[in-house]
Structure 1
């Protein structure tokens, strides 16, 4: 069974492509995470978790869901991580997670996809994004073939920088950067409520037809990127940048 969490569609695309190759069911975890639904689920063959990379590890909201949810049946767990450049030393922490659940860690496979972190980086236009995805297809198919064959993902070299990024940088990143204080809405807002609908933490509410952000944010960028009128900005950084939704 393939489980995925996705803010702007990269991980959804990868999960669905792997599912087409392996013939496995693909489950979107958005509602389960949003509703804090930790109901046990079952798979006979193996588990595959597809997730974005947040500061060189899986998102903490996904990690919490995995910790709290009983994945019954198969004890084999694969991780496929979409990233803008590198997943760092994420495997170390995923291995710990598997050990805590008494599951067999089958490796972590990074897939470089278009950059979507508009809060800090430059997002691509449609043509640039499609070119990055085209380059990623072979890696996605390689991951799918390894899963279908029942093997493990090959280990990848880990640098000192990888260790620092997934360790101390990740620890500092969340309290220092992951908040909603810089989000604001412009007059082009059409009061559609899409931002509230796509927030996995129910952190957005509408007041007089305009979004208001609370104190619980995971920086998935779904609200700003999925706004149909591009009315949401993140400080000055996002101004003028393309909003990114996976074009495939």
Structure 2
């Protein structure tokens, strides 16, 4: 089974592609967390492959992913082949090491880890890629996905094909600061372009948005920016820096797949 977390669809598409090629079940991390359960318990079949697919937030896994793992209980686990695939715009820092440490705390060993470059979507800092660059990244991602899926199907261990980037340890140190100061909802708002369609409420990974003519944000947030990038009228904004920037969602993913 593959446990996935995704804001604008890159990680879901990655998880879905690997799942289809390896006949694996898909489990939404955000759906599990938002269920309010104290423990996330799943029964494994004999020899079942375990995967974790998620985006990189400030050079580490999203806090929701780590919180999920801390409460994860896998029945019948017996050194099952376990992999992780963080998706990123450029590099992942020490994301896989953070993931490995988190899994070790619940006595799960990471057999392999991969990173895959996808189009940018975090427009609070920076902007989306040009259409040409977006197409190039998506085309290369397809090739990378096939290679990753093949390695997983063969259950090759010790395979860590990860683009860490420069100074990975230094960059990953930024993550606690990101979680403390950047992951907040006060700066979200909707302009007069809002038509009350409710898409932002459907795609919110924290289920923090409620739409009554216009969206209102609660306190919980993962900073996934799904509410901004999926908004069909570009009404949803964060602070003063996103209004003139582009928007990106994975073209191979439907809103219904993320909000199920």
TM-score, with normalisation over the residues of structure 2?
0.87
Structure 2 CA distance, aligned partners of 1:91 and 1:39? 22
Among residues 84, 88, 92, which one is paired with 1:83 in the alignment?
A: 88
Deviations 1:175-213 (A, max 9, x none): 122212221111111112221222122222234x11122
Structure 2 CA distance, aligned partners of 1:92 and 1:29? 20
What SS class does the counterpart of residue 50 from structure 1 fall into? strand
Two-structure CA RMSD over aligned residues (Å): 1.9
Taking structure 1 as reference, are residues 239 and 153 closer, same or farther at Cα in structure 2, changes over 3 Å only? Answer: farther
Give 1:18's aligned residue. Answer: 18
Aligned residues: 246
Q: Given the alignment of the two structures, is residue 31 of structure 1 paired with residue 31 of structure 2, yes or no?
A: yes
Query: Do 1:48 and 1:77's aligned partners in 2 also have CA atoms closer than 8 Å?
Result: yes
Deviations 1:139-183 (A, max 9, x none): 1111111111111252358677100111x2111122122212221
Structure 1: runs of 5+ lacking an equivalent: none
Deviations 1:80-130 (A, max 9, x none): 010011111112211211211111211321100001112112113554322
Taking structure 1 as reference, are residues 238 and 66 closer, same or farther at Cα in structure 2, changes over 3 Å only? Answer: same
State the 1:222 CA deviation: 0.9
Query: Do 1:179 and 1:216's aligned partners in 2 also have CA atoms closer than 8 Å?
Result: yes
Query: Do 2:93 and 2:163's aligned partners in 1 also have CA atoms closer than 8 Å?
Result: no
Give 2:229's aligned residue. Answer: 225
TM-score, with normalisation over the residues of structure 1?
0.91
Structure 2: runs of 5+ lacking an equivalent: 253-260
State the 1:228 CA deviation: 2.1
Query: Do 1:126 and 1:247's aligned partners in 2 also have CA atoms closer than 8 Å?
Result: no
Structure 1 CA distance, aligned partners of 2:13 and 2:66? 20
State the 1:28 CA deviation: 2.9
Query: Do 2:115 and 2:163's aligned partners in 1 also have CA atoms closer than 8 Å?
Result: no
Structure 2 CA distance, aligned partners of 1:43 and 1:105? 16
Give 1:6's aligned residue. Answer: 6
